[in-house]
Amino acid sequence: MSSSTSDSTRPQRILSNREEDTLMKQQKAKALKQCRAQMQDFVECSKTRTISMLWSCRDQKHALRDCLRTYTSEEAMEREKQTFLQQPRDSDSRHV
């Protein structure tokens, strides 16, 4: 029997609500860390502006949005979930 056959017969584990919340928080933190340069550019652009920030900082805002989306989109979250689910589950970390 091939490993792909045995993998398909094995029940698929799903994330608990707690695991999903934790994973989302981790991804958001990762996004903020990885997009720090874009965030700083946006902050610098908007520091001395009020209403004009809406059009003056549009490029910086879009760059920040695109960077954050790289880490927090549904596709990125699904990839992270699959990576998490492939890791062995530590039964000692369960809370009752």
Q: What are the residue boundaries of the structural domains of the chain, listed by start?
A: 17-85
- In terms of pTM, does the model score above 0.85? no
CA 39, 41, 46, 51 torsion: positive or negative? negative
User: Mean pLDDT throughout 33-62?
Assistant: 95
User: Mean pLDDT throughout 6-11?
Assistant: 54
The answer to whether residue 26 scores a pLDDT higher than 70 is yes
- Which pLDDT score, from 0 to 100, does residue 91 have? 54
Average pLDDT, the chain: 84
pLDDT in tens, 48-82: 999 999 999 999 999 999 999 999 999 999 898 88
Please give the single-letter amino acid code of residue 6.
Answer: S
Distances in Å between the Cα of 55 and the Cα atoms of 39, 42, 52, 63 are 17, 12, 6, 14
